[in-house]
Amino acid sequence: MKQAKVPSEREFKRVLVAVDAMKYAARNRAALMLSFYAGMRVGEIAALKIGDVLDGRGDVKEQVLLRAAITKSGEARTVFVGDKLRRELTAYIATLGGDRRSANYPLIMTQKRTAFTPNTLCQLFAHIYEMGGIDGASSHSGRRWFITRLAHSGVSAKVIMTLAGHKHLTTTQRYIDVNDEMMRAAIRLL
């Protein structure tokens, strides 16, 4: 089975430009950023509630606990929220009406004000990548980008495996993309 394309930096920027031109841009951008900056699976993103992301003061949490019921492995895991993702989520949540900030509301809602299913969110991601002109990208592209960026930044394989919610290092290794520029950069270190 062919793996989802890992967008280059230029392609990632193109996707963001495409998202910003879409209807529901803030929502779509937030969903995309959860994939790219937290490495979350589409099913995990679809299942998030406002209360998972916001603390009692209404600020974006530093850590989001993914309940066991929404993860692929069936085990709870913690997602760490970095500064970039925090800014993105804060901006998105600022666009929501007060009634939509209730802890039990879905974080990412359809235009009919219901939670996305993983399938409909996959379709939205496919549409976003199509609008950005990225062939071969899927709902897993952001997750692969996240894992690849961490690996090429020198983050320990065990840390990446844990952040990704994988049980085996071999699974994590399959997510890491390698291209000619990365290989050139590696050789320059010698």
CATH of domain 9-142: 1.10.443.10
3-state secondary structure of 77: strand
| pLDDT value, residue 18 | 95
Please state the domain extents for the chain.
9-142
Task: Name the band, by pLDDT with cuts 50, 70 and 90, for residue 1.
Answer: low
pLDDT more than 90, % of the chain: 65
What is the rounded average pLDDT of the residues 160-176?
A: 83
Give residue-wise pLDDT tens across range 56-68. Answer: 899 999 999 999 8
**Does the pLDDT at position 6 exceed 80?**
yes
* Unique residue bearing structure tokens 């963001």: 16
139-161 core/surface letters (b: 16 or more CB in 10 A; e: else): bbbbbbbbbbbbbeeeeeeeebb
For residue 100, what are the CA distances in angstroms to 1, 92, 104, 108?
A: 39, 12, 9, 10
Give residue-wise pLDDT tens across range 104-114. Answer: 899 999 999 89
What is the rounded average pLDDT of the residues 14-22?
A: 95
DSSP 8-state code for residue 115: B
DSSP 8-state code for residue 3: P
| pLDDT value, residue 172 | 76
